[in-house]
């Protein structure tokens, strides 16, 4: 072996040893500076001598190349879920069923980690594949992301011919709070809890993102093993720990369900002190032969059960109610609380859902309230302690104007949500622009969500109208987009200026107005000015425009910022006129309703629908007595049956072609 190769192997062994001492055993032997020096030396050697690079090198923990997607993995041993218990009686019932088959059963009790279940596979002691649980039968290959989790050994102590283990990837509370602080600083959506954060991080297509998230793992089960004989759960955990895995090794066994339940309560009492989230505790039969005797059901093993702790409740004072405007324009009331620790995390804010929830619970500013983490995830105000009221408490009212942009706030009939109607609302800006440039709307090719995000981040645009004022050199300089790509995008923007009027109407994002309604409105009013001047009464007289839609349109154009937005589009050269020639238009399907079903050979459904609408007809998704024709392709199902039962005319593709010829 050459000296270089020998040194690389020595460095890898040293780094993995110290990595295990620091992350798994919490017993570091060298300083961070010394560890970093070893890692830098290895990185330099692997860069200089790429022929010695290895997928299982510690340098791979920073993340490799991004994957286009995750490949499916069929689990040889099904990753089953656990039956759940919510009371001591249910634990005793489980014990009774176990002892009918195994009278002298002994139990182990362990924390139920609130994370994402994964499978890790090793061949000859080397980590080869990692996958998510998925539906228990088929998961996703996330090997490259799992390599970045420092508590997963890339190489075992012994060269076991084959080993598959199951573990729970989680995000420590400290890492979770750090991640959410970073997201908040970037004005990005926050993760609701560490479990969601762990799952989202592990499913990032770019492993480098997963590497920065500080994920961790506890391994708790041997799925398959070759070359070793393991007879009990505790022996298995000891073996896994020797091989370098991170486990929660509780070597106590319990001869009765009463003793096991006492341990469950003990774990529950200590959950606030843990650095990770748990959502229960698990009782398992220790002996593997006894497990084989008990067997499994279609859904879960008969030798284990998970006890779920009741949601923890705490009392605090509600100091104020703040309105949060979401990306869809929904206004959500948020309770600002005196900080209280609930289920292991500090809670100072809680959702109040909507104004109906506030009225139903009679929640007032200044109230003493009970906080609960629903499913140990989202903090919510569940009760008001009215006997604590002093008379100084004040009722809350939803604002009439959006706190983000000042636009009118509306609540449509039958909806619980109040919404902002401002097209330029900062809270909705990204979503509104993405919709405006999308294919069903202005169809600006090349201007996808990622480019929109960069344009906003670089303050190149603030609204969708600003797109029509961008200079080519500004685009070319943005994040190395390049002159050619920039010019292609400018060409797409210029092309969109000549779009038909209905695309602009659809792009405005008026609530309840989609592509189909936009086409109807463009034909009716011919100009954007004519459309903006329409009254609610006039609009409701149009086919396919109901009362809610008419109200939504009128309220949209009552907002000054929306009118300014349309003026900016006009000044930017965007077409605001429907110049189709109605006098010469072929309206042979006027007043006729078609339903399409089955697989068409000559047309896509969207193409057939477009032809019908161009000829004055309309399409529907369901068959009724008002349906004139059902265009049926191959393998037509229930819609064809219903059409025949109602006596609706059924036509084939050939007959359809005769009709449109």
Task: Identify whether 47 is a catalytic site residue.
Answer: no
User: In 3D, which of 211, 103, 224, 192 has the Cα closest to residue 149?
Assistant: 211
Q: Give pLDDT, residue 505.
A: 94
pLDDT confidence of residue 152: 94
CA distance 2 to 38: 19
Handedness of CA 469, 472, 473, 477 (dihedral sign): positive
More reliable by pLDDT, 623 or 18: 623
Distance CA(603)–CA(589), nearest Å, equals: 18
| pLDDT at position 25 over 80 | no
Per the model's pLDDT, the better-predicted residue between 614 and 319 turns out to be 319
Spatial CB neighbours of 593, under 8 Å, sequence gap ≥ 6: 617, 618, 619, 620, 626, 627, 628, 629
Per-residue pLDDT at 26: 57
Share of the chain above pLDDT 90, in %: 44
Read off the pLDDT of each residue in 157-168 and give the average, rounded to a whole number.
94
**Whether this model's pTM surpasses 0.75:** no
pLDDT tops 70 at residue 64 = no
Token reading at 135: 């539906």
pLDDT of residue 477: 79
- Spatial separation of the C-alpha atoms in residues 260 and 252, rounded to whole Å: 10
Give the mean pLDDT of 8-15.
Answer: 79
Q: Provide the pLDDT for residue 591.
A: 84
pLDDT surpasses 60 at 582 = no
Which of 375, 376, 355, 372 lies closest to 364, judged by CA? Answer: 355
The predicted model gives 305-332 an average pLDDT of 88
> In a 3-state reduction of DSSP, which class is residue 435?
helix
Q: Where are the beta strands (DSSP E) in 248-364?
A: 278-285, 304-308, 313-325, 330-342, 345-351
Minimum mean pLDDT range among 193-197, 243-247, 403-407: 193-197
Helix (H) or strand (E) holding 502: helix 501-507
Domains observed in the chain: 3-53 (1.10.287.610), 84-308 (3.30.470.30), 313-388 (2.40.50.140), 429-571 (1.10.150.20), 593-660 (3.40.50.10190)
> Contacts by 199-202 with C-beta closer than 8 Å and gap 24+?
199/115, 199/116, 201/145, 201/171, 202/116, 202/118, 202/132, 202/142, 202/145, 202/146, 202/169
List CB contacts of 573: < 8 A, sequence separation 6 or more. Answer: 468, 497
What pLDDT, on the 0 to 100 scale, is given for residue 621?
A: 82
Q: Which of 6, 112, 308, 313 is catalytic?
A: 112
Distance CA 207, CA 227 (A): 32
pLDDT band at 61 (very low <50, low <70, confident <90, very high): low
Give tens-digit pLDDT for 399-426: 999 998 998 898 877 778 898 888 788 8
Residue 583 is predicted with a pLDDT of 46
Q: What is the mean pLDDT of residues 626-646?
A: 88
**518-530 residue pLDDT tens:** 988 998 899 999 9
Residue 480 has a pLDDT of 61
Question: Is residue 374 within a helix (H) or strand (E), and if so which, with residue range?
Answer: strand 368-374
DSSP states of 614-638: HTT-EEESS--TT--EEEE-BT--H
Q: Rounded distance, CA 312 to CA 320, Å?
A: 23
Q: Mean pLDDT over residues 225-242, rounded?
A: 94
Instruction: Average the pLDDT over each of 26-40, 100-114, 472-486 and give the range with the smallest value.
Output: 26-40
Q: What is the pLDDT of residue 185?
A: 72
Confidence band for 475, pLDDT divided at 50, 70 and 90: confident
Residue with tokens 């096991």: 260
363-407 pLDDT, tens digit per residue, is 999 999 999 876 545 688 989 999 999 999 999 999 999 998 998
Per mean pLDDT, which range of 152-166, 223-237, 271-285 is the poorest? 271-285
3-state secondary structure (DSSP) of residue 568: helix
Output helix, strand, coil percentages for the chain, rounded to the nearest 5. Answer: 40, 20, 40
Phi, psi of 108 (to 5 degrees): -120, 155
């Amino acid at each position: 072996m050459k000296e270089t190769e020998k040194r690389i192997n020595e460095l890898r062994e040293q780094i993995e040893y110290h990595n295990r001492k620091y992350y798994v055993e919490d017993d570091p032997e060298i300083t961070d500076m010394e560890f970093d020096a070893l890692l830098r030396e290895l990185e330099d050697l692997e860069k200089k001598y790429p022929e010695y690079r290895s997928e299982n090198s510690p340098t791979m923990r920073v993340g490799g190349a991004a994957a286009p997607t995750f490949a499916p993995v069929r689990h040889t041993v099904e990753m089953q879920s656990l039956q759940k218990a919510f009371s001591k009686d249910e634990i005793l019932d489980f014990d009774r069923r176990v002892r009918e088959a195994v009278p002298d059963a002994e139990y182990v009790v362990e924390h139920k980690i609130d994370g994402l279940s994964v499978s890790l596979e090793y061949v000859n002691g080397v980590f080869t594949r990692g996958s998510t649980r998925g539906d228990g039968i088929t998961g996703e290959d996330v090997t490259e992301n799992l390599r970045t989790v420092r508590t997963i050994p890339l190489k075992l102590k012994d060269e076991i011919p084959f080993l598959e283990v199951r573990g729970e990837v989680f995000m420590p509370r400290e890492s979770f709070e750090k991640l959410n602080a970073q997201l908040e600083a970037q004005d990005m959506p926050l993760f609701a809890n560490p479990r969601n954060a762990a799952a989202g991080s592990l499913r990032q297509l770019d492993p480098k993102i997963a590497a920065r998230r500080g994920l961790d793992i506890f391994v708790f089960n041997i799925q398959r093993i070759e070359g070793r004989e393991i007879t009990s759960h505790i022996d298995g955990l000891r073996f896994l720990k020797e091989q370098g895995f991170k486990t929660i090794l509780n070597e106590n066994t319990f001869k009765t369900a009463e003793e096991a339940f006492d341990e469950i309560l003990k774990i529950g009492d200590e959950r606030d002190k843990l650095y990770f989230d748990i959502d229960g505790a698990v009782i398992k039969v220790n002996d593997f032969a006894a497990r084989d005797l008990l067997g499994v059901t279609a859904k879960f093993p008969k030798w284990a059960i998970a006890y779920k702790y009741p949601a923890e409740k705490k009392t605090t004072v509600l100091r104020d109610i703040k309105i949060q405007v979401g990306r869809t324009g929904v206004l959500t009331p948020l309770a600002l609380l005196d900080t209280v620790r609930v289920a292991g995390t500090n809670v100072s804010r809680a959702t109040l859902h909507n104004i109906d929830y506030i009225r139903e619970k009679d929640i007032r500013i200044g109230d003493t309230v009970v906080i609960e983490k629903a499913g140990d995830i989202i903090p919510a105000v569940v009760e008001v302690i009215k006997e604590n009221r002093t008379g100084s408490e004040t009722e809350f009212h939803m604002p009439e104007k959006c706190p983000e942009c000042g636009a009118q706030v509306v609540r449509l009939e039958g909806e619980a949500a109040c919404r902002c109607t401002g097209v330029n609302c900062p809270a909705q800006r990204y979503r509104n622009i993405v919709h405006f440039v999308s294919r069903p709307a202005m169809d600006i090719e090349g201007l996808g969500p990622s480019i929109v995000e960069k344009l906003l981040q670089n303050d190149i645009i603030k609204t969708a109208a600003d797109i029509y004022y961008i200079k080519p050199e500004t685009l070319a300089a943005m994040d190395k987009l390049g002159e050619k790509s920039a010019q292609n995008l400018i060409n797409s923007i210029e092309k969109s200026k000549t779009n038909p009027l209905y695309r602009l109407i659809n792009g405005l994002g008026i609530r309840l107005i989609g592509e189909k309604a936009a086409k109807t409105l463009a034909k009716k009013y011919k100009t954007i000015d004519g459309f903006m001047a329409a009254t609610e009464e006039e609009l409701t007289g149009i086919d396919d425009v109901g009362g809610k839609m008419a109200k939504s349109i009128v309220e949209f154009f009552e907002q000054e910022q929306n009118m300014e937005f349309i003026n900016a589009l006009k000044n930017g050269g965007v077409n605001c006129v429907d110049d189709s020639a109605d006098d010469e238009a072929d309206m042979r399907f006027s007043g006729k309703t078609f339903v399409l079903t089955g697989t068409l050979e000559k047309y896509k459904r969207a193409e057939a629908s477009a032809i019908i609408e161009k000829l004055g007809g309309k399409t529907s998704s369901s068959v009724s007595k008002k349906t004139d024709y059902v265009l049926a392709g191959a393998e037509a199902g229930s819609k064809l049956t219903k059409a025949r039962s109602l006596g609706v005319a059924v036509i084939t593709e050939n007959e359809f072609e005769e009709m449109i010829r």
